[in-house]
């Protein structure tokens, strides 16, 4: 007599067991994450959620073995009770897994959207800065601010004019002051333009560096559509006892039926008092 495990081989059994254990560990982690989030929302500590989820998931793996053993011993009542408990645990695990996976996928999409918004804002700001730099560069780029500052410091104005014009600040009312302070005013304007040009150049370099380091990511992931089209509706319907779509359809048919009855009753009653008054006026 040949044993089945001898024909399959211990390496295959060990690999299959490893896959099963890995899948159970993944299920435990996903369910524990969802349960911990629910526990925090209800005001409990996250560790409480992890502990409860671990107990539920271990029970979900042990109860089928216990049910089979009870069925073999013909303890059908206890087997039915444990089977119902296992169905509840499986439904809870499906709901927690669905919620956790949906939350993780939504977080990925939100992160991608945020990164693209940041990149778009940086790109728009860079365009504005480049326009300002182009305007300051016409007809030629300004001299360095340090050079203009030294030239301004070397420009001399007669002391009387410097004092009376408040350091060449009030020259609009006097053509004499305007002529004497013309070079100073021009250098001040050039200094302001040079400072703005250097500031904008530094900002443009920072934005270009940020755009280079910011990757182009997708704001929409095909995984949510695949999940919603396959496992999502099944998990949601299972959480509602398989009545999600049927209940919605039944409620919609009920509303349509009442709307048809209301329209039929109004047609049988004829026009109301207001409508009859309007007919008499226009008649």
Query: What's the pLDDT score for residue 202?
Result: 93
Give the chain's mean pLDDT. 75
Phi, psi dihedral angles at 91 (to 5 degrees): -65, -40
Q: Per-residue confidence of the chain (283 residues) as pLDDT tens digits?
A: 455 555 566 778 788 788 878 877 887 888 888 888 778 878 888 888 888 888 888 888 888 888 888 888 888 888 889 889 889 888 888 888 777 877 877 887 788 788 888 888 888 999 999 999 999 888 888 899 888 888 888 888 888 877 777 778 877 777 877 888 888 888 888 899 999 999 999 999 999 988 888 777 665 656 555 556 665 555 445 444 444 444 444 444 545 554 555 555 545 555 544 445 445 444 4
Q: Which two tokens stand for residue 194?
A: 């040079």
Element (H, E) at 244: helix 244-269
pLDDT of residue 206: 92
Q: HSE (CB half, 13 Å, CA atoms) of 266?
A: 10
Nearest to residue 236, comparing CAs of 108, 28, 91? Answer: 91
Query: Do you know the residue count of the chain?
Result: 283
Residue 242 CA to residue 230 CA, distance in Å, equals: 15
pLDDT at 128: 92
Which region holds residue 218: left if phi is over 0, alpha if psi is between -120 and 50, else beta? Answer: beta
Q: What is the C-alpha separation between 49 and 106, in angstroms, rounded?
A: 22
Contact assessment for residue 4 and residue 69, using Cβ atoms and an 8 Å cutoff: no
DSSP type of residue 279: H
**Going by C-beta distance under 8 Å and a sequence separation of 6 or more, which residues neighbour residue 123?**
207, 211
268 contact partners, CB below 8 Å, separation of at least 6 = none
Q: Which residues, at least 6 apart from 71, have a Cβ–Cβ distance to it below 8 Å?
A: 79
To which H or E segment does residue 139 belong?
Answer: none
Q: What's the pLDDT score for residue 195?
A: 92
Is residue 12 helix, strand or coil?
Answer: helix
């Amino acid at each position: 007599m040949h044993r089945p495990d001898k024909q399959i081989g211990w390496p295959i059994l060990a690999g299959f067991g490893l896959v099963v254990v890995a899948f159970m560990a993944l299920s435990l982690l996903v369910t524990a994450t969802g349960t911990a989030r629910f526990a925090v929302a209800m005001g409990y500590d996250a560790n409480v959620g992890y502990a409860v989820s671990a107990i539920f998931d271990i029970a979900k793996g042990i109860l089928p073995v216990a049910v089979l053993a009870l069925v073999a011993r013909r303890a059908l009542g206890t087997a039915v009770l444990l089977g119902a408990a296992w169905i509840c645990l499986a439904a809870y695990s499906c709901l927690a897994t669905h919620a956790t996976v949906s939350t993780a996928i939504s977080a990925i999409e939100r992160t991608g959207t945020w990164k693209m918004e940041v990149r778009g804002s940086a790109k728009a700001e860079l365009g504005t800065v480049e326009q300002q730099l182009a305007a300051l560069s016409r007809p030629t780029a300004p001299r360095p601010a340090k050079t203009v500052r030294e030239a301004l410091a070397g420009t001399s104005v007669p002391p009387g004019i410097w004092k009376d014009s408040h350091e060449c600040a009030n020259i609009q009312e006097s053509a004499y002051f305007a002529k004497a302070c013309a070079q100073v005013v021009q250098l001040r304007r050039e200094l302001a333009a040079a400072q703005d040009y250097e500031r904008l150049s530094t900002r443009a370099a920072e934005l270009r560096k940020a755009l280079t380091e910011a990757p182009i990511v997708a704001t929409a992931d095909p995984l949510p559509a695949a999940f919603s089209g396959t496992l999502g509706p099944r998990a949601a319907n299972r959480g509602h006892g398989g009545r999600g779509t049927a209940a919605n359809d039944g409620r919609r048919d009920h509303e349509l039926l009442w709307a048809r009855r209301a329209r039929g009753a109004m047609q049988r009653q004829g026009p109301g008092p207001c409508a009859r008054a309007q007919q008499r006026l226009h008649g």
